[in-house]
Structure 1
Amino acid sequence: MEAVAEPRRVQTLVDAGISRLPSRYIQPLELRPDPRRCGIDVGGIPVIDLSLSAGDPVPAIACASRDWGAFQVVNHGVSSRLLEEMKSVGSSFFSSPMEAKLRFACDPRSPASEGYGSRMLSNDDGVLDWRDYFDHHTLPVSRRNPSRWPDFPTNYSIKDTILEYSDGIKKLAQTLLHMISQSVGLPPSYIEDAVGEVYQNITVSYYPPCPQPELALGLQSHSDMGAITLLIQDDVPGLEVLKDDEWAVVHPLSGAIVVILSDQTEVITNGQYKSAVHRAIVNDHRPRLSVAAFYDPSKTRKIYPAPQLVTKNSPRKYREVLYGDYVSSWYSKGPEGKRNIDALLI
């Protein structure tokens, strides 16, 4: 196999003081952020309070999952201290010297490999996102390889922040999947059982200032592959969710966690709920940071619609899929909105 050339990190381009966007980062005209829509607010995604005093959140989760495929949760049980520490250690990594960060570079032949990278897809001829990232493989425990995790700065602690965050966000994902299962009339553990042994990645994404943000995307339009994604962001807007052919800004909300339904949950619910198409835009003056925790099946897991949700009035909509095959297709063909899950439609 020929070696794949690793593109320069976006941070190195910014540090070099470029004033024009390199051609590899220029999105096709139809995919670029529309400057005529900038500043137009089509309504933010729902915010759901999970505290006991707020009442039963399941009806609100059902509505948000059906209409948006995404929502924000507050009073979710993950401490504000831990959320801030997770963002802080990520920010500290990206502010470290380049030679130190490159010690943990991803394998350029495998964009899903653990470590510090920029390129997301297997093919080497596509448009690149204006983003650098660090991907941690955190669950199951057998996937953890601490030698692939930074040993700097001193507060980037394997034993403390990353692992505490991994455990806390897993518990929240399980709670939310139980509520989502209940909301469609399934046993609480149904989606969790369908997913099986969870594969969790925690990805810190860094979006540097962009000299021509109207031509680029920090992360191109896509829906996530797995079951559910839980994301935190700093105070710089950039995450957008597609609803009714309009891009809605997910406004940063202190202490909130963004919940994004992913493709396998759409399959399991037989399309009652949809995976959210989302993207990240960039700006020319402020960097942005987000942390996404992906809750996915193992690659040997077969996913299919829950039989209880297949009826005469709601026939089966999706073919069974081996999750490993789905991942391979996603990384080889590219996301392009929801074309990967659309390929499973019967």
Structure 2
Amino acid sequence: MGEAEAHQSVQALATSLCSLPPEFVRPEQEQPGATTFHGAAAPDAPVIDMSVPGSGARIAAAAREWGLFQVVNHGVPPAAVAELQRVGRAFFALPQAEKQRHAMDPASGKIEGYGTKLQRDLDGKKTWNDFFFHVVAPPAMVDHGIWPERPEGYREANEEYCRHMQRLTSDLFEHLSLGLGLDKGAMAEAFGGDDLVFLQKINFYPPCPQPELTLGVAPHTDMSTVTILVPNEVQGLQVFRDGHWYDAKYVPDALIVHIGDQIEIFSNGEYKAVLHRTTVNKEKTRMSWPVFVEPPGELVVGPHPKLVSDESPAKYKAKKYKDYQHCKINKLPM
């Protein structure tokens, strides 16, 4: 990859295009224009009101059947969400040179910072996405030197939002543990308790001249335990279910919860990590703010012993989370 290509963002590229460069055009079997299921028969991912009795059972059922659900009345103040979105939008409105000062340095082995998906994947294709990515908890892992000085209020907004994510994650873990017939604290204990790692990401998908041919993010499951995501109002998240791609419809004030690989492993396959992808829009910028909740790297994650028996043998190998990450990122055997 040449120096100019390495430093060009999709955001900058998008301002000068009338048609999509060929390296962004997905193979026909991956193009959202041809592979998205529309119509009255399209199912909607569950929307769960966390304030009503029985919501925990609904969360567990959605984790089994979908691997993705949306929650409302989740206790995260609208003002905290709005401020997180404000500072994220303001960061991406900064001059390119200022954003570039926060560029991630893959050669250093650090995954934090400002970056772009201009790098090709294994089949030579690129995705339509820029991002900013950093750890927000636990304090010992946070490097504020990576966080932007502008816009004003960025640090305060992210720290407050993270506190709400920690509380919501605790609630979700309790519901999901009980849904497996385990003690309510089983999942939190297995994933590291107070040492849980929270990574905040901002995804930026600028307007695209031919959105039906490309993707913002290619199909994948998340490595995390859970991912909790707030989108803007532009439709884009899609879920693979029963052999089809469906839109996860935008629900105002909802947070979207993805079940990640680590919960699938812990549950010995009872809960399903959701296969998902992201589409883009011709006229509008789509943004999303996912928080990835991960175990500490040295922690060994495997199926919970109470979920393994002669009738239900272990479906996954126990391994350190950092080793799991290495295998998945490098597409090595698990």
- Tell me the TM-score range normalised by the shorter chain: over 0.9
Q: 1:136 aligns with which of 119, 123, 134?
A: 134
Q: Give the number of aligned pairs.
A: 330
TM-score normalised by the chain length of structure 1: 0.89
Q: Runs of 4+ in structure 1 displaced over 6 angstroms?
A: 2-5, 120-125
Q: 1:238/1:122 Cα in 2 relative to 1: closer, same or farther (>3 Å)?
A: closer
Matched, 1:172 2:151: no
1:44 aligns with 44
2:181 aligns with 185
Amino acid aligned to 2:188: E
Matches within 5 A, 1:252-331: 252-331=250-329
Matched, 1:64 2:62: yes
Q: Distance in 2 between matches of 1:3 and 1:185?
A: 54
2:209 aligns with 211
The question of whether the paired residues in 1 share the 8 Å contact of 2:133 and 2:199 is answered with yes
The question of whether the paired residues in 2 share the 8 Å contact of 1:70 and 1:260 is answered with yes
Show structure 2 runs of 5+ residues with no match. none
Q: Distance in 2 between matches of 1:166 and 1:111?
A: 24
Q: 1:35/1:123 Cα in 2 relative to 1: closer, same or farther (>3 Å)?
A: closer
Amino acid aligned to 2:28: L
Please report the RMSD computed on the Cα atoms of aligned residues, expressed in angstroms. 2.2
Which stretch has the larger CA shift, 33-42 or 140-149? 33-42
Show structure 1 runs of 5+ residues with no match. 334-339
Deviation at 1:4, TM superposition (A): 12
Deviation at 1:82, TM superposition (A): 0.7
TM-score normalised by the chain length of structure 2: 0.93
Q: Distance in 1 between matches of 2:22 and 2:7?
A: 12
Matched, 1:22 2:18: no
List per-residue Cα deviations over 1:121-159 (Å, max 9, x = no partner).
Answer: 797874221000000211121121112111112232x1x
Q: Distance in 2 between matches of 1:3 and 1:299?
A: 32
Q: Percent identity?
A: 34
Matched residue SS, 2:101: helix
The question of whether the paired residues in 2 share the 8 Å contact of 1:5 and 1:108 is answered with no
Deviation at 1:26, TM superposition (A): 2.1
Deviation at 1:245, TM superposition (A): 1.4
2:115 aligns with 117
List per-residue Cα deviations over 1:143-177 (Å, max 9, x = no partner).
Answer: 21112111112232x1x201001111111011101
The question of whether the paired residues in 1 share the 8 Å contact of 2:132 and 2:203 is answered with yes
Matches within 5 A, 1:237-252: 237-252=235-250
Deviation at 1:7, TM superposition (A): 5.2
Q: Distance in 2 between matches of 1:4 and 1:269?
A: 45
The question of whether the paired residues in 2 share the 8 Å contact of 1:111 and 1:122 is answered with no
List per-residue Cα deviations over 1:48-74 (Å, max 9, x = no partner).
Answer: 1111xx112121112101110010011
